[in-house]
Amino acid sequence: MKLTKGIIAISILLSAIGCAELKTILDQNLGLSNEEIVAGLKEALNIGLDKSVTSASTVNGYLKNEAIMLILPQEVKSLQQEINAGSVSLLNGAVKVSYKKMLDTYVSVNPNLNSDPFDELVIAMNRGAEQAAKKAVPIFGEAISTMSFSDALGILKGGEQSATDYFYTKTKANLQSAFRPEIKQALNNTHATEIYGSVADFVNYEYEVNYLINSYTIKTRDYLKSEKLPATLDGYATDKAIDGLFYLIGNEEKKIRANPMDYTSAIIKKVFSSDEAQGN
């Protein structure tokens, strides 16, 4: 008798709430499926990618953002510091010429340079990264769409940018190979490649100095002690440009996790407002 009454009560409840409402209740009680979690994580990464590319590809998107700005490679930075601080002495100190003076003379006769070549190089590298960022969406997007998750629930329950960190670990090596041609072309377009070549060539510069009635040749390679420079900037610039985009994607993931209801995507709202994502 009690069982019959229970069945009647459930039947009345089903009739009252309707199929759609019942599905919502069941979904809430059953939690998220693995497929939903994966879809939510990928959607978060795609949103982060779109916003990151929009930000990074604008003028000064890299250059004026200290968090992602491309700085000089360490070998080039060391050369810059040595040039700014060092000098060459001849004839027991009777003749002293600073590297900076030699560099200024070198710049004045070099058609690829207009001012401080190290400052020019930083600007050109960042302009290249900004230009290449426009091509990042299909390359990064393909990596996101084909990426598998070994522990989607664990990533969802993880830290503020655990999905971005997982994406970085799983795909960076492949992204470097795919993105490098775009960076190389962009560095050519912004003349960063030419400028870098001129910086490297200064190591072999021969500077003429006159003293009394004699002329002396200073070969910079005989005096500069900085380590050998990389053959090209391509690998370095690709690595740093990718790191910058991942930094921005991670920041967007943090925003999504903090306020999922601010986004229009239904799967973002469902996945990131869930008990699993909120740690309940």
Average pLDDT over residues 199-226: 92
The per-residue pLDDT for 211 is 86
* Percent of the chain whose pLDDT exceeds 70: 89
| pLDDT over threshold 60, residue 26 | no
φ/ψ (deg, to 5) at 123: -65, -45
Q: What confidence category does residue 16 fall into, taking pLDDT thresholds of 50, 70 and 90?
A: very low
Average pLDDT over residues 228-234: 94
Distance CA 76, CA 196 (A): 9
| Cα radius of gyration (the chain) | 29
φ/ψ (deg, to 5) at 211: -140, 120
Of residues 109 and 11, the one with the higher pLDDT is 109
The per-residue pLDDT for 12 is 45
| pLDDT over threshold 90, residue 242 | yes
pLDDT (tens digit per residue) in 120-159: 999 999 999 999 999 999 999 999 999 999 899 999 999 9
pLDDT (tens digit per residue) in 41-58: 999 999 999 999 999 999
Task: Report the predicted TM-score, pTM, of the whole model to 2 decimal places.
Answer: 0.85
* Percent of the chain whose pLDDT exceeds 90: 82
